[in-house]
Amino acid sequence: MEALRRQKIRCSGWDPVHRPRGRLAESDIVNLGYVVNVIEDPAERRDALRQAWALTLKVLVISARLEMDGRELVNPSDFGDGTLTRLNTFQKFYSQSELREWIDTVLNSSSVAAAPGVFLVFKDDTQRQQYVAASYRRRRSAPRVRKSDLIYEQHRELLDELASFVANRGRVPEPWEYTRYSELRDVFGTAKRAFQVVRNVTGAQQWEAIREESKKEHLLYLALEHFGHRPAFGKLALDIQKDVRDFFGTYKRACTEADSMLFRLGDREELEQTMVASPIGKLTGNALYLHLDALPQVDPLLKLYEGCARAYVGGVEGANIVKLHRTKPKVSYLAYPDFDRKAHPTLLASLSVSLDSFKLKMRRYGKSANPPILHRKECFLASDDPRRTRFEKLTRQEERLGLYDDPSIIGTVNGWAETLERCGVVIRGHRARQH
């Protein structure tokens, strides 16, 4: 609470032991953080969740410990449906799917995974839809103006805002979606006419590409909604209804295309061919590795592959590389905290999601004497990423110096250090040179 207040966030809190006089009040956001996992009575556990839900006006955040956390305990003992720690405190360790099913059953709602062991439950399902849909929508910049136009110059600020909306949604806004719609109407008559001015000065081709990308993002959202009982068209948020009509004509056609993409994901041969053909990412014998910044630009089938894992675990804190496995349905999230700063960053942790069993596996390398490291960092990024130039220059230097002649030994800190010593090479920043 003190941390939230330092950020100027109004909040109140209550705990039966540590803050019994705290104020219980209805709030837009209610956080039930690592509470249900320390309540040993299952009935009391359910009551705590229901009480928190009763105070929630918009979204309830629920977090609990997972089974992979329990593996670090020393001499635990079974107690009820959980565990007693060496400090004689109760802990129930959930699997990701067990926690989600318990929340959904008790609250009779559909939760959304925000992170491993963290779920969001929305009071209004349309807000849930908008939250999930937005997570698969890439933030895009509008195409740059390439020629002058008197009308455009007279209303540049107004039209730039319109261009920003279309760049992110792939379509022109409805009056109820856009606060400055009346200004557009007064000047141009309709939003479509206003946007035509934007197209004239920026070029139509880029906008067609943006529209197609937006359409694919909505297919990804609808495909993943299949796992959580896809709502009827009338139950969709109004802006998503508008998207569906604009991109697909009918909801039935949109769902058919989304389901078709899901079926394609089950074709391991097509998925393998898509990974091999991907112009983005580092392909190895068993996986395709991508920086998360590049993920929005890969083939929609690969985005769906990763999206299945993300829908299950949510965001993985600190992860910046995603590993799409080729030989089995599995996605891993890797944390390289020094990816930008160090020429060859070391792996800090990984979280793997098996899409056939939905088991999570966490590995930490912080105390490892010989952790894995990265090479050829430019391969993980999209072609237009500004970091590529610097990374590519380093790779060319390292190739000329013979550092990649034996790739079987350079994948770890020790192997790389031995190679540098043998070749008489020192690396400073993102530059390699011989002694």
Instruction: Write the pLDDT tens digit of every residue in 341-373.
Output: 999 999 999 999 999 988 999 999 999 999 999
pLDDT-derived band of residue 74, with 50, 70 and 90 as boundaries? low
**Contacts (Cβ under 8 Å, ≥6 apart) of 434:** 401, 423, 424, 425, 426
Q: Domain check: are 103 and 7 in the same one? A: yes
Give the residue numbers spanning the domain of 86. 2-123
Instruction: Please check the confidence at residue 55 and state whether its pLDDT lies above 90.
Output: yes
User: Which residue's structure tokens are 């979606």?
Assistant: 177
How far apart, in Å, are the Cα atoms of 315 and each of 134, 145, 149, 326?
14, 35, 44, 22
Structure tokens at 342: 């160090």
How many folded domains does the chain comprise? 4
Q: Are 247 and 133 in contact (CB under 8 A)?
A: no
Q: Domain check: are 261 and 138 in the same one? A: yes
Q: Domain check: are 112 and 141 in the same one? A: no
Q: Domain check: are 374 and 388 in the same one? A: no
Q: Domain check: are 193 and 291 in the same one? A: no
Q: Domain check: are 284 and 307 in the same one? A: yes
Q: Are 291 and 339 in contact (CB under 8 A)?
A: yes
Q: Domain check: are 326 and 368 in the same one? A: yes
Which of 358, 378, 398 is the last residue before a domain boundary? 378
**Contacts (Cβ under 8 Å, ≥6 apart) of 423:** 401, 402, 403, 434
Q: Are 348 and 367 in contact (CB under 8 A)?
A: no
In a domain, 271, yes or no: no
| pLDDT given at position 67 | 87
In a domain, 272, yes or no: no
Which of 241, 265, 289 is the last residue before a domain boundary? 265
Q: Domain check: are 141 and 259 in the same one? A: yes
Q: What is the DSSP string of 48-88?
A: HHHHHHHTEEEEEEEE--BHHHHTT-SS-EEETTEEE-TTS
Task: Tell whether pTM > 0.75.
Answer: yes
- Predicted confidence (pLDDT) per residue in 214-231, tens digit: 999 999 999 999 887 788
Q: What is the DSSP string of 312-334?
A: HH---TT--EEEEESSSSEEEEE
Q: Domain check: are 50 and 114 in the same one? A: yes
In a domain, 138, yes or no: yes
Q: Domain check: are 118 and 173 in the same one? A: no
| pLDDT given at position 28 | 96
Q: Domain check: are 420 and 323 in the same one? A: no
Q: Domain check: are 112 and 167 in the same one? A: no
